[in-house]
Amino acid sequence: MRNNIKDFRKSLKMTQEELAERVRVTRQTINAVEQEKYAPALDLAFKLATLFGVGIEDIFIYGGHGRREVKL
């Protein structure tokens, strides 16, 4: 799962440590999520979205294929 966490974090001029403190996780967790080595739990995803003032879908991109048209 791709994500834009680093971009949102930098736009707020926050370090990984500062972001980690705000959402109550370790800096290592933020680093792993930013490097796409770890997919966060839903509660962390909501905390990040709330902090950044955006929807979860603005932060996380699943699969990279975008939306597909479904024919019925």
Residue that the structure tokens 């796409």 belong to: 36
Q: Is the confidence at residue 68, as pLDDT, over 60? A: no
Contact 33, 40 (CB under 8 A): yes
Q: What is the dihedral of CA 23, 62, 32, 51, to 10 degrees?
A: -20
| E runs forming strands in the chain | 2-3, 60-61
pLDDT band, residue 6 (cuts 50/70/90): very high
Which tokens is 52 given?
A: 């950044």
pTM above 0.95, yes or no: no
What's the CATH number for 2-56? 1.10.260.40
Query: How do residues 14-67 score in pLDDT, each as one tens digit?
Result: 999 999 999 999 999 999 999 999 999 999 999 999 999 999 999 999 875 554
- pLDDT score for 16: 99
Domain limits, the chain: 2-56
Contact 52, 3 (CB under 8 A): no
